[in-house]
Amino acid sequence: MDDEETELRNPFPSPPSHYTRYTNHNLKLLELFRERVGQDADLYAVNQYEVLADQVDVPDWPLAQLEKPRVDWILEEGHYTVFGDTWFIKEKIPSLAELGGHQLYPADPSVDRRPALRSILRSLLVTYSRLLSALLLPPPTASSAQNEPEWKRHLEWINILAQNIMAAANDLRPVQARGNLELMMGRQLELRREETREIHSKCDALEAQLAELRSASQAPPTQVAGSSASSAGPKSGQAPPAVQVWDLPIRQADHCITVLQPDYSNVSMHDVLSWAEEVTS
């Protein structure tokens, strides 16, 4: 029995020793046994040798061991055993009482546990102080050696109190994980909002520059003539000087200067956007 228990707890266990019983002959005997006693009958309570007296090679162990596990029993109990370990159907953190410990705080998670935890902490401090006092006592005499030392009782109680504090802290792990997730998601949301505000401000600046370019391209050209253009004309064979500027009025005393605006008829919107990207980069 001890060897089987050790084998079940092996990380790489061998097949169970009773797997050789699942032969075709034994499975047929089990089916016939179930048909003769009924589907609702308890096979362990019925004598299989009397029911299967007309059959040969009836095993000396109960045929009921070959039946499949009852799923309804597993659902009712809430756990099952595999390789010597107990697994719960619904994953949960077992409480200290379920693990066999002495639980000193309320088991209901909806109840405020802070008063109980404060009491446990005070008891831990008081017990630790008493443990130090017990260690300072003189060694026991021969007559009192049979009694349990006082420091040992304090040490056991400190162990129980520490287990309760650790178990209560482990119960708060889901709450801590939820709080950390909320903080992380809030930080990510704030970063996305900042990036969105920067994108909007950049788009507003580009729209303002494009509006200035549109207004500049739609302004009419102007021509400014000098005051002495009629009396003093240009020399023969020479054209009056012309300067291309951005719609700036320029006057000179001796020359007629024509202020021309650049021709935007051949400028496409793609060229304007490319120029705007170069300016803002």
Tens of pLDDT, residues 106-158: 888 788 888 899 999 999 999 999 999 988 888 777 766 677 788 889 999 99
Q: Please name which of 48, 53, 46 lies closest in space to residue 30, comparing C-alpha atoms.
A: 48
Q: Which residues pair with 259 in a beta bridge?
A: 243
- Closest by alpha carbon to 94, among 159, 9, 167? 167
pLDDT category at 238 given cuts 50, 70, 90 is very low
2-60 pLDDT, tens digit each: 566 666 666 677 777 778 888 999 999 988 888 888 877 888 888 888 888 888 888 88
Question: Which of the residue ranges 216-225, 233-242, 263-272 has the most confident prediction, judged by mean pLDDT?
Answer: 263-272
Distance CA 42, CA 34 (A): 9
Tell me the average pLDDT of the chain.
78
Q: Rounded CA gap, 155 and 96, in Å? A: 19
DSSP string, 232-263: S-PPTT-PPPEEE-SS-----SSS--EEEPPP
Residue among 215, 214, 220 at smallest CA distance from 273: 214
Report the C-alpha gap between 9 and 146 in whole angstroms.
40
Q: Is 251 left (phi over 0), alpha (psi -120 to 50) or beta?
A: beta
Number of separate helices (H) and strands (E) present in the chain:
8, 4
Dist. CA 242–CA 258, nearest whole Å: 5
Per-residue pLDDT of 160-218, as tens digits, reads 999 999 988 888 888 889 999 999 999 999 999 999 999 999 999 999 999 888 888 88
Region 254-276: mean pLDDT is 64
Question: What pLDDT score was predicted for residue 138?
Answer: 83
